[in-house]
Amino acid sequence: MKIIKLNAIDSTNSFLKEMAVNATLDSFTVVTAKEQTSGRGQMKNKWISEAGKNLTFSVFVRFDKFKIENQKYLSFVVSRSVFEALTTYYLPKLAIKWPNDIMTVNKKICGVLIENSLQKEYITSSVIGIGVNVNQEIFNDELSKATSLKNILGKEVDLDELLNLILERLQENIQLLNDKEFSIIEENYLNVLYKKNIPSMFKTPNGELFMGKIIGVSQEGKLQLELDNETLEEGFGETKSTTSVKEFDLKEVSFA
């Protein structure tokens, strides 16, 4: 494993992607930076991080015959690896929020951005960007639902120690992916999925609110929600509750 440490960079994902274009990289080449000036998260969101306080890094991983149709398992593996590393610190109410955020006490402590290179029906390689809020204590209003290890633990955490823990878990779990242990990977992910099987309020992009219960993730990576439906029984004037399952993409639903 090769680890490249930088003081400042626009984005570790962008830097590593450019390296992959210009050179043949070994699997598990890692780039970490004390500061990202243009860090990115899911759905083109900007990743805001205080310089030198947090862990921001990207990992290049090469695959052999990994089908695009199985890409949800890569997301599972990455988020589960960070989750497992963070259990070392005994964070309360630690969970994975679909698709791959890490939560503690209902606040976000880590985000993931995975960018894949494709060839025909296969993912040939991925750049996996991980950002963990470690020693930052103050978050602006835009990040009111964020927290850090220091805020939870009341003490600073060594960044290199956490990096090594995550990389160790990631290497082991990527091996599960290479061995096509998909059922084990999915079970490990669903066992710690945020608010799974708990009735919760959700909202659509247009502000519509509805109750639902997370029951799983589809093969396409969509969130599966069980919804309650009320129907009027003819001739009796009574309502009857039934359930249905609906699938949502990342842009289609969020917690209210």
Is residue 237 domain-resident? yes
Same domain, 60 and 142: yes
Q: Per-residue pLDDT averaged across 162-189, rounded?
A: 98
Is residue 195 domain-resident? no
Least confident of 133-137, 228-232, 241-245: 228-232
State the pLDDT at residue 242.
Answer: 79
Long-range (24+ apart) CB contacts under 8 A made by 84-90 are 84/169, 84/173, 85/162, 85/165, 85/166, 85/168, 85/169, 86/110, 86/132, 86/149, 88/165, 89/149, 89/152, 89/153, 89/157
Q: Where are the alpha helices (DSSP H) in the chain?
A: 12-22, 71-86, 149-153, 159-178, 182-190
- Identify the domain containing residue 16 by its residue range: 2-190
Distance CA 172, CA 159 (A): 20
User: Does the pLDDT value for residue 232 go beyond 50?
Assistant: no
Query: Which uninterrupted H or E stretch holds 34?
Result: strand 29-36
190, 210, 227 - which closes a domain: 190
Q: From residue 14, how far is each of 20, 39, 58 by CA, in Å? A: 10, 9, 9
- Report how far apart the first and last C-alpha atoms of the chain are (Å, whole number): 41
Same domain, 54 and 142: yes
- Position 236 confidence tier, pLDDT thresholds 50, 70, 90: very low
Same domain, 150 and 222: no
Q: What is the mean pLDDT of the chain?
A: 92
State the pLDDT at residue 45.
Answer: 57
Number of domains in the chain: 2
Same domain, 185 and 207: no
Strands 29-36 and 101-104, sheet pairing: unpaired
- Find the CATH number of the domain harbouring 141: 3.30.930.10
Is residue 17 domain-resident? yes
CA 166 to mean position of chain CA atoms: 13
Backbone phi, psi, residue 207, to 5°: 95, 0
User: What share of the chain in percent tops pLDDT 90?
Assistant: 84
Residue 141, classed as helix, strand or coil, is helix
Strands 101-104 and 95-97, sheet pairing: antiparallel
Same domain, 209 and 93: no
Render pLDDT for 123-172 as a digit per residue (tens, 0 to 9).
999 999 999 999 999 988 766 789 999 999 999 999 999 999 999 999 99
User: Does the pLDDT value for residue 40 go beyond 90?
Assistant: no
User: Does the pLDDT value for residue 186 go beyond 60?
Assistant: yes
Name every residue whose Cβ is closer than 8 Å to that of residue 69 and which is 6 or more positions away in sequence.
121, 219
Same domain, 129 and 178: yes
